[in-house]
Amino acid sequence: MKCAVVVFPGSNCDRDAFHVLKNVFGLDCHYIFHEDRFPPDEFDLIVLPGGFSFGDYLRAGAIARFSPVMESVREAASRGRFVLGICNGFQILTESRLLPGALLRNDGLKFVCRDVYIKVVNNRTPFTCLLEDGQILRIPIAHGEGRYFIPDDQLREDQIVFQYCDEHGNVTEDSNPNGSCFNIAGVINEKGNVLGLMPHPERCCEEILGNTDGRKIFESLFSYFTRRHDHEAN
């Protein structure tokens, strides 16, 4: 699997994502600067990492969506390549209309940075195929604009992939760190190849960090990709 990590001005989780893909999982991984373009079939997975992007003072991701690289990302997504947007990357995906909805200021108007629990509510996606419905993961968050909003009639139920919950899996108001509607922590597009995730799975993929729950999301995608690749080869 060949991977790309897009670097926007202000990205600060690009190295984390690159390290996990290249050094933890041993994949062929490359940085792509926001002013560059690439052929739509060059990469199997494109990661838009967390951090900041220029123009966030207007609205997170609102200006970054006009970056030349996003033309390539949109084309790659339309051809079935996998796209993962984490935190600021999630914000850019919604602004680019690759995912529905919008990310707004946290309801407490404060930056939040801590571990949270999220529950798998759809394990029928490439990013969750090795997980069980109802499985609970502990994943770090770090955001000021993570409140996902979408009108009820603009999101299919099966597009909700992860919800914030407590350690027992209860989806409650108290377990929602930012006020996201329906406690949404991650959504996928209708085609099933573009995932937006507010928590940071790349920050919990190694034993030395004391938590490897994030590995399960990446491992699901790699397993799905391998099975699909083997099927197509036969």
Q: Nearest 5 degrees, angle CA 64-CA 199-CA 177?
A: 105
> What pLDDT, in 10s, does the model give residues 24-54?
999 999 999 999 999 999 999 999 999 887 7
Rounded to whole angstroms, how far apart are CA atoms 142 and 199?
Answer: 7
User: Do 11 and 54 touch, CB atoms closer than 8 A?
Assistant: no
- In sequence order, the 6+-apart residues with CB closer than 8 A to the CB of 207 are none
Could you give phi then psi for residue 115, rounded to 5 degrees? -75, 140
Catalytic pick among 87, 165, 204, 205: 87
Mean of the per-residue pLDDT values for the chain? Answer: 94
Instruction: Give me the mean pLDDT over the 113-135 stretch.
Output: 97
pLDDT value, residue 62: 84
| Structure confidence by residue, pLDDT tens digits, 77-109 | 999 999 999 999 999 999 999 999 999 999 988
Contacts of 184 (CB under 8 A, 6+ apart): 148, 150, 160, 162, 163, 164
Q: Is the pLDDT of residue 61 over 90?
A: no
Catalytic residue among 13, 165, 200, 204: 200
165 counts as catalytic:
no
Whether the per-residue pLDDT at 231 is higher than 80: the answer is no
For the segment 165-208, what is each residue's pLDDT rounded down to a tens digit? 999 999 999 999 999 999 999 999 999 999 999 999 999 999 99
Does position 153 have pLDDT exceeding 90, yes or no? no
Residue 75 is among the residues annotated as catalytic for this protein: no
**Superfamily of domain covering 2-233:** Class I glutamine amidotransferase (GATase) domain (3.40.50.880)
pLDDT digits (tens, 9 = 90+) for 72-83: 999 999 999 999
What is the band of 234 on the pLDDT scale with cuts at 50, 70, 90?
low
d(CA 184, CA 116): 13
Q: Is the pLDDT of residue 228 over 90?
A: no
Q: How far apart are CA 186 and CA 206, in angstroms?
A: 22
Predicted TM-score of the model (pTM): 0.95
Torsion angle defined by CA atoms of residues 145, 149, 154 and 159, in that order, rounded to the nearest 10 degrees: 70
129 is catalytic: no
Whether residue 230 is predicted with pLDDT greater than 90 in this model: the reply is no
Domain assignments of the chain as residue spans, ordered by start: 2-233
Query: pLDDT band for position 10 (50/70/90)?
Result: confident
In this predicted structure, the answer to whether residue 143 has a pLDDT above a threshold of 80 is yes
**Residue 59 confidence (pLDDT):** 76
